[in-house]
Chains A and B, each alone.
Chain A
Amino acid sequence: MKISIKDVEYVALLSRLELTDEEKVEQLRELNKILDSMEVLNKVDTSGVEPLAHVLPIHNVLREDELRATLPKEKVLQNAPEEDEGMFKVPKIV
């Protein structure tokens, strides 16, 4: 399966990424390379094989409903590009 520049633009929109034309071409090439690898996997006959939900043969890893220490506020906001009133300030949404 090959994708087009249109698909790249669509995926970029979903991720709210603005790409230059050059970057779009670059992404197109990389994504298609990944999809080519997937094509190899698609050749494997999986009829009669249960879909895999997890790579390890484990299940039911659960924790008790107990409180644990939260992160100090300075640390929480440490990497925030902008903050206001103890909250993360983000640009216009809609």
Chain B
Amino acid sequence: MKKISLGDQVSFCYEGETVLDALLRDNIDIPNSCKQGACQSCMVRSLDVEPPVAAQSGLKDVLRKQKHFLACLCYPEQDMAITLSQQPEFFTEGTVMEKRPLNQETLLLTVECKEPLDFYAGQFVNLKRVDGLMRSYSIANSRLHDKKLTFHIRRLAGGRFSEWVHQELLVGDKIAVSDPQGLCYYLPTRFEQNMLLIGTGSGLAPLAGIITEALQQGHTGDIHLFHGSREMDGLYWIEEMLELERQYPNFHYTPCVSRGDSPEGVAVGRANDIALSRLPDLKGWRVFLCGHPEMVNETKRQAYLNGASLKDIYADAFHVASTSLD
């Protein structure tokens, strides 16, 4: 058992528990969302010892040096004194401009930010409600719009944030938008490199941002997008993607459904299986995987076995509290 001191409060962290677990058990109000080291909302700072290396994964060098770490990844190796408030996440004020359905369960949310955001296509932000409830959502547009951001928000039954966005959030309402984050993004380099993008459900959001950005930048390599869902009504933007395909000869789009009937032009099967069987040799390719955590992990391994280098595989698993997301 390790002692975690926060101000004059002491929490106990038992074997197998993270610092986040310990603080939440003591009802300490610490922001958190994914509990998987992805969203970085639970970042805290050590005031004494060096945090375990594993608890700093994904953090920028400067933050690591200042002993920031992710509470949800930290299994403390010794007693620690920590602070919550050292590096508050930077938020800018956003105003909801538009809410438009993409399909039955997903909506397109457009938010106009007060400050322009310096992001790479494919990154995500944390959206925060007035009461502090916060979730990660990927930016679905390219860098052409650095103030007006779009998101694809899928409604999860019983999901606190997504249900609220769908049902209560109104055009004109304010919402806080964090600094852009995440390592799954498009760098405008090596334009001749072929790219494979696989997304399930609202995993299309960051991929759409990446594709738009790449095409605008003049990427010349082939760009293959596979978007999957269980059934037809889980897909969206089919027309837009087909239009893009007509416009850019190096862009190739394959919608996939794993169940039920599919009209012509829609492949039957899981998007990752179809993609990897059609593209057995990924040596030298850049690969982007977004959406269902299981799909992402499984495909990362398979893409690597098909020849892609680990450093060329970018992934965002859309972790949620339960496993109900596709």
Say whether A and B bind each other: no
